[in-house]
Structure 1
Amino acid sequence: MDFLRSARVVSEAAGSGVVDWDRAAAAAKESTDPGSIALTSAEREGYATDVRDANARLREVAGIDFDVPASIEVQNRHHWIDASAGTFRRVMAPIEATASGVPWSPVRDLSRIANTGSMAFALGFLARNVLGQYDPLLLADEPDADHGLYFVHPNIVRVASMLDVETPRFRRWIAFHEVTHAAEFGAAPWLPEYLESRVERGVDGLSSGGFDPAAFAELQTAMTAVEGYAELLMDRAFDGEYADLRRKLDARRGGGGPVQRLARRLLGLGLKRRQYERGAAFFSHVADARGIEAASVVWDSPDFLPTDDEIENPAAWITRVDP
């Protein structure tokens, strides 16, 4: 890792956009050790087995039909940065388009450097902490492109050691979690378009100098459902004891040193933790009252997504939807 070289790359940000994406990714990689993905044959087979077993177990428990993404990658941190820079770039495209019509000025160049540095920081921090990711390819140029399932192997090995758990067991836990997201999007073919429309409305509003609170509220509520349902399936489907994993991971989500806590706050990761907690409580109540298949009804239609008020009052959702 070379933070000085990373800063130098950021200072060279150029182009006509709000962010110099190539330099943002390059700077993030300069400040981030890629880690090793020199897997043994047992490790490689372990990932494949975990995904396959999670697929079968989740179908059995949830009673929903879905396909695991064709693209399953074991990545290092630099691979993750390259993949995720493309995602951020797609989301920012409306703002980039608006900014392209603004006349040149020295302030604009300074703003581009600052934005590129902020994006490099975000990509680097996340690359050092993300364990696995299901990528539904929101806002992709090719709507029918294969979704992706990624595992950041160096982070899985490092965090398993930090938590004092066996790496194969921890890897399996992460595989189950990410396959639950594949299950959600597979069971709800309308979900990517629903999320895309809210992202586009929100970003379009920002790019025109406004703000669409309804779009962001709907996006936040939908993501609370996505994260909460995944937590429910993890609790009901994982084929082993997990209480210690849950406790240690919850502590990790809120732990770390002052810099890490500040970074999580700036990147909105505290909000993501709140999504886990609220969503998990909602779906646990529904599953306890009506069964896990009743909870899965949420993916039948966007009309069945809980409102923000219903997340706090699951009985109201049950009364409205009557699963």
Structure 2
Amino acid sequence: MADDEGQRPEDEFQELLRQLFGGDGTIDPEQLSKLSGMNVDPAMMQQMMQQLQGAFAQAGNDSDPQISWDNAKRAALHIANQSDRGITSGNRRDLDQAFTLATLWLGEATTVSELATPPQAITRGAWVEKTLDVWQELAQPVAGSIADALTSALDQQVPEEMQGLVEGAGRLMRSVGGSLFAAQLGQVVGQLSTEVVSGGDVGIPVMPAGEAAILPQNFADFGRDLEIPEDQLALYIATRELAHARLFRHAKWLRLDVITQVTEFAQGIHVDTDALEDLAGRFDPSEPEELRRALESGALLPAHSPLQVAALGRLENLLAMIEGWVDVVTEDATSRLPSADRIAETVRRRRAAGGPAEKALGSLVGLELRPRRMREAAAMWRAVTNAVGVASRDALWDYPDLMPTAEDIDDPAALIARLEARARGEEPAPDAMDDALAKLLAGEIDDDDTGDENPAGPQPV
């Protein structure tokens, strides 16, 4: 049946696709709203169409379209900047003084050297600019998985009679799906910029290497109801931030190790296609909040696989050891502060609970960045410090193979015994790996001793 203007709806739909996919680049939002029967704000619909057209242009010009993160950056900076009150000269002066004194105190609490770049006070927008590349790297595997799932759903669910109409749209769907996820990530990172107090507040190295910073506006919000003198709070936060940044500058392998473990975990993530198809089947474009809630709640991400659970355990232990070391060093450096214990407990509870944006980020990428064993790791570092001193403790960060293990967190006694023996000049007792390596270097191991019964490689089944 024809409509009031004598044109069939399917003809209007094809005309709309022609405009979007290869026309003059303009779409009348009023016409689109009328066509779809949706009550949609025309300005919002026009903006969405522009984003779709941009995504299609990118897909058409790239044989292997990549996800554009421009939407993520725009969304994050919009949220960060619209609520940013800037930095006053008083804020900057107070924090500079706190960083200066914190640097002196840390010189007594750790042998890890000072930063080459002076710490600074930064705005929320500057924090987004400095950290967004890391968030993109962490979220890339999930964004790619969602984009692939949308492309697969398009191929499998479009009726045969419409295949010609959507031919070639799969690459567009991949680009659009990834861009929509990127925009959602930008919203979460933008909100996170209103919560973090310092550069190392989230536990992982999101700031550029060797940089330390405090966000004065968020610092003021954090301390408003604590009834703690602001100068003491600033000294504690500055000390903790410098300790975190110093550690990652000193242990040059550590940053790569953390990021690698996070990305290895994220690469195992895939989209729950059943949940995606269910959402697509009942999705009302006039109610986009449902899609946003599905992304933020993690409803599209299935339960962790056994490999992911193992990877998550390793990552949690590493993050706990980082946080535990920072806790102990900060405690020693701020021992002169009357309110140090109260501030430390407040910071620990805040890190354990996480803020709303951090929880949303965890749902979005399937990973929570809160170390569950932080107190146990701090107790281990305290025991090591008391037993062998600051220098021997900090030397454990020199190489990855010197690092304590998860078993050392549970029971530091064996680790302390090894360190004490080393301090006395004693050689550690060789283990099975040491024995095998010694035999190999001495030429005492041949192919028959390796246990490899099939030196030619795997055979066909």
Instruction: Show the counterpart of 2:241.
Output: 178
**8 Å CA contact 1:10, 1:113 repeated in 2:** no
Alignment of 1:91-130 (within 5 A): 91=138, 105=170, 107-109=173-175, 111-130=177-196
Match of residue 263, structure 1, among 343, 360, 366: 360
Alignment of 1:286-305 (within 5 A): 286-305=384-403
**8 Å CA contact 2:147, 2:173 repeated in 1:** no
Larger CA deviation: 175-184 vs 276-285: 276-285
Larger CA deviation: 259-268 vs 227-236: 259-268
Instruction: Show the counterpart of 1:35.
Output: 84
Do the aligned partners of residues 8 and 164 (structure 1) sit closer, same or farther apart at CA in structure 2, a change above 3 Å counting?
Answer: farther
How far off its partner does 1:311 sit?
A: 1.3
* Identical pairs, percent: 21
Distance 2:134 2:372 in 1: 23
Show CA shifts across 1:218-267 (max 9, x none): 4433222211100001111113121221233344345689x568537637
Q: TM-score, normalised by structure 1?
A: 0.77
SS of alignment partner, residue 120 of structure 2: strand
How far off its partner does 1:73 sit?
A: 3.0
Distance 1:244 1:66 in 2: 27
Distance 1:104 1:313 in 2: 57
How far off its partner does 1:295 sit?
A: 2.5
Distance 1:100 1:261 in 2: 23
1:188 equivalent to 2:251? Answer yes
How far off its partner does 1:59 sit?
A: 1.9
Match of residue 79, structure 1, among 126, 144, 147: 126
Instruction: Show the counterpart of 2:227.
Output: 164
Larger CA deviation: 119-128 vs 222-231: 119-128
Do the aligned partners of residues 182 and 278 (structure 1) sit closer, same or farther apart at CA in structure 2, a change above 3 Å counting?
Answer: same
Distance 1:224 1:280 in 2: 8
How far off its partner does 1:275 sit?
A: 4.5
**8 Å CA contact 1:29, 1:124 repeated in 2:** yes
Match of residue 73, structure 2, among 17, 25, 28: 25
Distance 1:289 1:7 in 2: 65
Match of residue 68, structure 1, among 115, 127, 142: 115
Distance 1:313 1:221 in 2: 14
Match of residue 230, structure 1, among 314, 326, 330: 326
**8 Å CA contact 1:31, 1:124 repeated in 2:** yes
Q: TM-score, normalised by structure 2?
A: 0.56
Show CA shifts across 1:284-317 (max 9, x none): 2222333333422321321121112221111122
What is the identity, as a one-letter code, of the residue corresponding to 1:118?
Q
Do the aligned partners of residues 127 and 253 (structure 1) sit closer, same or farther apart at CA in structure 2, a change above 3 Å counting?
Answer: same
**Number of paired residues?**
311
How far off its partner does 1:97 sit?
A: 8.8
Do the aligned partners of residues 22 and 222 (structure 1) sit closer, same or farther apart at CA in structure 2, a change above 3 Å counting?
Answer: same
How far off its partner does 1:197 sit?
A: 4.6
Match of residue 249, structure 1, among 347, 350, 361: 347
What is the identity, as a one-letter code, of the residue corresponding to 1:121?
Q
Larger CA deviation: 43-52 vs 188-197: 188-197
Instruction: Show the counterpart of 2:216.
Output: 153
Larger CA deviation: 163-172 vs 86-95: 86-95
How far off its partner does 1:175 sit?
A: 0.6
Do the aligned partners of residues 82 and 6 (structure 1) sit closer, same or farther apart at CA in structure 2, a change above 3 Å counting?
Answer: farther
**8 Å CA contact 1:69, 1:149 repeated in 2:** no
Distance 1:200 1:261 in 2: 17
Distance 1:45 1:223 in 2: 32
Do the aligned partners of residues 131 and 256 (structure 1) sit closer, same or farther apart at CA in structure 2, a change above 3 Å counting?
Answer: closer
How far off its partner does 1:269 sit?
A: 8.4
Larger CA deviation: 23-32 vs 298-307: 23-32
SS of alignment partner, residue 133 of structure 1: coil
Do the aligned partners of residues 152 and 24 (structure 1) sit closer, same or farther apart at CA in structure 2, a change above 3 Å counting?
Answer: same
Do the aligned partners of residues 100 and 200 (structure 1) sit closer, same or farther apart at CA in structure 2, a change above 3 Å counting?
Answer: same
Please provide the CA RMSD for this pair.
4.1
Show CA shifts across 1:63-92 (max 9, x none): x14122415332121221122112223445
In structure 1, stretches of 5+ residues that fail to align are none
How far off its partner does 1:206 sit?
A: 5.9
Bigger Rg, which one: 2
Q: Which protein has greater RCO, CA pairs closer than 8 Å, 6+ apart?
A: 1
Distance 1:215 1:122 in 2: 24
Distance 1:37 1:27 in 2: 19
In structure 2, stretches of 5+ residues that fail to align are 1-40, 60-64, 152-167, 271-304, 424-461
What is the identity, as a one-letter code, of the residue corresponding to 2:350?
R
Distance 1:7 1:227 in 2: 46
**8 Å CA contact 1:50, 1:175 repeated in 2:** yes
**8 Å CA contact 2:248, 2:254 repeated in 1:** yes
**8 Å CA contact 2:127, 2:193 repeated in 1:** yes
Do the aligned partners of residues 188 and 10 (structure 1) sit closer, same or farther apart at CA in structure 2, a change above 3 Å counting?
Answer: farther
Do the aligned partners of residues 56 and 150 (structure 1) sit closer, same or farther apart at CA in structure 2, a change above 3 Å counting?
Answer: same
1:49 equivalent to 2:97? Answer yes
